[in-house]
A and B are shown apart, each in its own frame.
Chain A
């Protein structure tokens, strides 16, 4: 019996190690020079998450590509967001990743640093044409000096609001250069008019923005610690947000928890002036609210230091792919081909290519034009992106969310939260030290 167990155990060891090491073995096969036969039949797997319109237009883009290159067959594997990530992790563990993968920023480092997705630098300028895309946009896909993903487009954070409700609160307009003090003032006016100013700020996104305006960032450059030293910054920011909740200018977290979705959110039901969110969420919000909305930049001072062009998503190539060049060619098609992008219409973020952007403008709906204009404006009024979040960021964000929830409930003082956050986050991030 004992012998049997030892045998089994060693078998398992060999087995798991084999499974994990085969990624390196496939990539060494990859380096063998491939004969460049243009018309050799190729099958590519492509995976993405999203909703119905995205599935429909992406399938059309695939069809278009297959007509152009009859030797290429593309198998689409699309799913809902939650299901998508449940699929992808075991596929990575088993070296069964699709050739082309739609990647989200929050999982990007995890897949990149473990070499699950390929470095695309060598295809840039060859299979992938990037001459119409600014470096600022391209650099979003870099981890270290390797390029693990091609940006599908960019999003910029902002304040999306209903101008009519703003007037009701006694404020005529929001100035492009508004500040936190203006924001607090408007919030007070909103409260007096029986309105919520917004629905709170997603802690990690907006705290990071705030830190950037002060010249810091949430994570340090090497990702092994927090990017700010002085907990005063934490206290200032969260005193403001928690204070607004206490003053009833922003709904309490238990109120927000009761909401079912966009459809009964305060702005849509005419009880809240605006929402702080990413530019790609504007069109959906406008559609549900079904009235004219506006976009204001983030409050300053120094909003240009705080704002950045966030990669909406990436196209990455699975490291176990045997057809990396072909995969790269299709990615090029998706980001540069004008006809393909006419189907897409900025659904995966405002395109990085200036040529594509100009070609799309006449086709956009009024709300989409607002988004494109805002992103255009932001390009000249923002600073470089800090790069993808380090490994472990998911857990850090979860910690921050949980602490900010406790602060909003009034269960935890801001001072204590600052200390706890530093301690817990640094313990998670310190694991990235080599």
Chain B
């Protein structure tokens, strides 16, 4: 394989794709480089990409965090929320999607329609009534309003998995039925392994969306000790006086690292999945 790759075609591919990636990444590189510049020169020296001298003070300053909570503390809060949410969203969405994609029952179209409607109504207008519900439940100032709904499926993921399950030939289920498998077995033994790439996609999205989500934590978390990364990042800025840009950039970079690693690890499953095991045929 490696030998075959070093053809002129290989070179052209890598120069084109790599070059294009570099252009796409220019703003990201700028972000990373800026986190090594002194806070007050970030904008003045914006034209020059590489800092004159690399300084680490932004990272040290930023890591100290806010109000006695280190940035590591916010990362821990976010990680806990992300893991709880991710497990819930992946499992529940897969189960629900299987129901919509493979089973026949009365009212299926109705419920599917309802699900799409929940996606289309702007969140701002349901936010306040929802807040009141969670306050009556006594869930305020905890991650419950953020994490518990994750166990009831996420419309985006449900719809996505439905579409993927529908690309799988039904003959496979039917063969399994002949072998004596029940509906749940078909779900867990046939469909689940086959949609592994899309489950990996769901996991990536779920991880990242929870990681960066701002509105939910802003609404429901009151104590700064419970804040998430995205809220902490906003706190480096000031609308009245001087913002701590350097610390904000540095911690933005730091908070990118976990998502970056997770993506790199999971993306392999997105593209491997069934292509290695191979569909019968």
CB–CB A80/B43 < 8 A: no
CB–CB B67/A51 < 8 A: no
CB–CB B128/A56 < 8 A: no
Q: Is B234 an interface residue (CB 8 A)?
A: yes
As a 0/1 sequence over residues 125 to 136 of chain B, the CB contacts with chain A under 8 angstroms (1 = contact) are 001110110010
Inter-chain contacts of B46 with A (CB < 8 A) = 260, 264
CB–CB A77/B223 < 8 A: yes
B125 nearest CB across to chain A (Å)? 12
With beta carbons under 8 angstroms apart, the residue of B67, B219, B235, B244 that contacts A90 is B219
With beta carbons under 8 angstroms apart, the residue of B44, B67, B132, B244 that contacts A93 is B132
Inter-chain contacts of A56 with B (CB < 8 A) = 67
Inter-chain contacts of A284 with B (CB < 8 A) = 240-242
CB–CB A86/B135 < 8 A: no
Inter-chain contacts of B239 with A (CB < 8 A) = 49, 80-82
With beta carbons under 8 angstroms apart, the residue of B66, B128, B140 that contacts A55 is B66
Q: A78-B224, A86-B215 are in contact. Are A269 and B44 (CB under 8 A)?
A: yes
CB–CB A80/B237 < 8 A: yes
CB–CB B67/A78 < 8 A: yes
Q: Is B266 an interface residue (CB 8 A)?
A: no
The docked-state distance in angstroms from the alpha carbon of A94 to that of B219 is 12
Inter-chain contacts of B66 with A (CB < 8 A) = 52, 55
CB–CB A261/B231 < 8 A: no
Q: Is A76 an interface residue (CB 8 A)?
A: yes
CB–CB B241/A89 < 8 A: no
CB–CB B235/A260 < 8 A: no
Q: Is A194 an interface residue (CB 8 A)?
A: no
B233 nearest CB across to chain A (Å)? 9
Count of chain A residues with Cβ under 8 Å from any Cβ of B?
Answer: 43
As a 0/1 sequence over residues 87 to 98 of chain A, the CB contacts with chain B under 8 angstroms (1 = contact) are 101110111101
The docked-state distance in angstroms from the alpha carbon of A16 to that of B46 is 51
Residue of B nearest to A264 (CB): B43
CB–CB B224/A76 < 8 A: yes
Inter-chain contacts of A87 with B (CB < 8 A) = 218-219, 222
CB–CB A264/B244 < 8 A: no
CB–CB A59/B242 < 8 A: no
A395 nearest CB across to chain B (Å)? 17
Inter-chain contacts of B135 with A (CB < 8 A) = 94-96
Inter-chain contacts of A263 with B (CB < 8 A) = 40-44, 245
CB–CB B68/A51 < 8 A: no
As a 0/1 sequence over residues 267 to 281 of chain A, the CB contacts with chain B under 8 angstroms (1 = contact) are 001000000000011
Q: Is A45 an interface residue (CB 8 A)?
A: yes
Inter-chain contacts of A93 with B (CB < 8 A) = 128, 131-132
CB–CB A59/B223 < 8 A: no
A14 nearest CB across to chain B (Å)? 12
Q: A50-B238, A83-B231, A90-B127 are in contact. Are A96 and B140 (CB under 8 A)?
A: yes
Give residues in B with beta carbon < 8 Å to A.
40-44, 46, 66-68, 127-129, 131-132, 135, 140, 214-215, 218-219, 222-224, 231, 234-245
Task: Known A-B contacts: A56-B67, A80-B238. Give 8 more (CB < 8 A).
Answer: A51-B242, A52-B235, A76-B224, A83-B234, A90-B128, A93-B128, A93-B131, A260-B46
Q: Which 8 A-B pairs have the closest CB atoms?
A: A51-B238, A284-B241, A80-B234, A90-B131, A94-B135, A81-B239, A263-B43, A55-B67
Provide a sorted-by-A list of 16 A–B residue pairs whose CB atoms are within 8 angstroms: A51-B242, A52-B66, A76-B67, A77-B222, A79-B218, A80-B234, A80-B239, A94-B135, A98-B222, A261-B245, A263-B40, A264-B43, A281-B240, A281-B241, A287-B241, A288-B242
